[in-house]
Each structure stands twice: as structure tokens, then as C-alpha cells.
Amino acid sequence: MDLLNYYQTVNLRHLLCTDIDRDGTLSGPNTALYQQLLQLFPKIQLQASGGISSLADLQLLRTEQVHGAVIGRALYEGKFTFKEALQC
């Protein structure tokens, strides 16, 4: 968090956060982690990575005010299409 505090002083706007325990697992996003980051750094636009497996996950992230998501494995596995993801 110290690094994020520093970056916030130099106007960090976007942050890609990968939960490496969930990366590639299709086990669902770590919304608790993302909410903690957004509470501490409300001006940052957060992109989530790790565990995303469904359109419901993308919709949940949107309701949690996460601005983007890495969806590589879910796309590769055919869980949804890119077009469907853009509609979430």
C-alpha cells in the first residue's frame, strides 16, 4: 500500500490488480480485495484480473465500481464472447 500511496501523490489514475492466487483459475474475482483498494484509493480506476469466469462476474465487478477486467482464460475457454463481455 505504501507504493500506491506514493503513486497517488503523482496522480496515478489507473491500476491493474492481479490476484495471483486466482489468476487462470476461473474461480471468481476477489471482490473483497478490489473493494479494499477502492476504499483506500477512491480516485483510482481499477482493472481487475484473476478468476473471472462468467458474465455474472463482470456484472458484479461493474456494480462494485471496477472499471475494467482481464478476461483471457474465460475467453479462451469459451465461457462468453468478447461481444457479450462488452455488453456487461
Report the pLDDT value the prediction gives residue 12, as an integer from 0 to 100: 85
Give the CATH number, domain containing residue 21.
3.40.50.12600
Contact 34/46 with Cβ under 8 angstroms?
yes
The residue with cell 478476461 is 71
Using the predicted structure, report yes or no on whether residue 1 has a pLDDT greater than 80: no
Report the pLDDT value the prediction gives residue 29, as an integer from 0 to 100: 98
Which residue range forms the structural domain that includes residue 65? Answer: 2-86
- The model carries a pTM of 0.89
Q: How many domains does the chain have?
A: 1
- Cα separation, 57 vs 63, whole angstroms: 10
Give the percent of the chain with pLDDT over 90: 82
Report the pLDDT value the prediction gives residue 85, as an integer from 0 to 100: 98
